[in-house]
Amino acid sequence: MASVSPVPAATGAGGQAANPQQFLTDTDYESMPIHWNDCEDYEIIRKVGRGKYSEVFEGWKVSCEDKVIVKCLKPVRQRKIKREIKILQNLRGGPNVIQLLDTVRDPGSKTPSLVFEHVANTDFKILYPTLTDMDIRYYIHELLVALAFAHANGVMHRDVKPHNVMIDHSQRKLRLIDWGLAEFYCPGTEYNVRVASRYFKGPELLVDYREYDYSLDMWSLGAMFAGMIFRKEPFFHGHDNYDQLVKIAKVLGTDELYAYLDKYDVQLDRHYDGILGRHTRKSWHSFVNRDNQHLVSPEALDFLDQCLRYDHKTRITPQDALQHAYFAPVKASVPRRDGNTQQGEGFANVSQG
């Protein structure tokens, strides 16, 4: 059934990360052939989502009656489609990464679609308010496992947000989905800053710093985590990209922002002259109240503080985060994935440029 030949994860023996230079360049995956299967073996049940680049449906495979998720791609450059497929191939079999099952195309409309494993997701707006302290620790841990694997395989997700984290709470199963904005990382490369969703954009994107790296994903995870433990979704609620940085500065401080800009020799857009103001850094404790105090601990605030930092080079990595004290109860209760290593362990650290 599979239309894309299995590609082993780009790691060597013992989970050692491959050299990012070994990954396909844009030109390489532009020339990569895609084998499109016929879509007649799939039937659509209902629409479950839509985005800028696709519409998503729940469906089933007729021959075996397995439920699947079908992502119908809107007209977009072939390069983008091939990049997403190549990344999904490279990450195939990775923990908590959504699995690509098939690539199909409608013979009439020629609309391409990606077929994925099915996850019985609960909308985060319904699920998150019900989560316990232990639930949040567990699911953030599982998300870190996915990011540790992706980063060790040279891939930045670049769109981490609640909408892209599917959770089947009854099975305690998490999958990181939508790798359409993901990109292979190569040190020293300048990347497009028009990635990630506004509420989860790192400061580097908002100040047009293009030489960012994997640490962008850790800011996005941190913003998501803050929303979960403080019961404030989204945590940074900007009305546009300019206001988004203002909202961040009101928490992390303007002096700290200017120190970050100076360090990386970044000129702030003149538009901020009239809207940024001066703000003193807030304590994370100031966001604790009667409704969320049961979700907040010293370990949670320390972990959050290591994620939400202006300076991307000082943010905690997924690999190090998995060893953080906040996740100790999870590591004590979650069975190992194999006989030798705890979840997330065994992935090599990848330099963040």
Task: Read off the pLDDT of residues 288-327 as tens digits, 9 standing for 90 and up.
Answer: 999 999 999 999 999 999 999 999 999 999 999 999 999 9
For the stretch 146-202, pLDDT in tens is: 999 999 999 999 999 999 999 999 999 999 999 999 999 999 999 999 999 999 999
Asked if 277 contacts 255 with a C-beta cutoff of 8 angstroms, the reply is no
159 a catalytic residue: yes
Structure tokens, 340 = 């030798």
Helices (H), the chain: 26-30, 78-90, 124-127, 133-152, 203-206, 215-229, 241-252, 254-263, 298-307, 318-321, 328-333
For the stretch 197-227, pLDDT in tens is: 999 999 999 999 999 999 999 999 999 999 9
For the stretch 37-75, pLDDT in tens is: 999 999 999 999 988 889 999 999 999 999 999 999 999
- Domain coordinates of the chain in residue numbers? 16-117, 124-333
Residue 219's Cβ-count burial label (10 Å; 0-12, 13-18, 19+) is: buried
In the block, tokens 């023996």 appear at 13
Catalytic residue among 159, 178, 213, 217: 159
Asked if 152 contacts 346 with a C-beta cutoff of 8 angstroms, the reply is no
Q: What is the pLDDT of residue 290?
A: 98
Asked if 174 contacts 142 with a C-beta cutoff of 8 angstroms, the reply is yes
What is the phi-psi region of residue 288: left when phi exceeds 0, alpha when psi lies from -120 to 50, beta otherwise? Answer: beta
Q: What is the CATH number of domain 16-117?
A: 3.30.200.20
**CATH fold group of domain 124-333:** Transferase(Phosphotransferase); domain 1 (1.10.510)
pLDDT, mean of residues 332-344: 56
Cα–Cα distances (Å) from 210 to 191, 207, 216, 263, in that order, read: 5, 9, 11, 14
The dihedrals phi and psi of 131, each to the nearest 5 degrees, come to -75, 140
For the stretch 121-161, pLDDT in tens is: 999 999 999 999 999 999 999 999 999 999 999 999 999 99
Q: What distance lies between CA 160 and its chain's CA centroid?
A: 3
Asked if 212 contacts 203 with a C-beta cutoff of 8 angstroms, the reply is no
Structure tokens, 49 = 């989502």
71 marked as part of a ligand binding site: yes
Q: What's the rounded Cα separation, in Å, for the pair 5 and 90?
A: 11
pLDDT, the chain, mean: 90
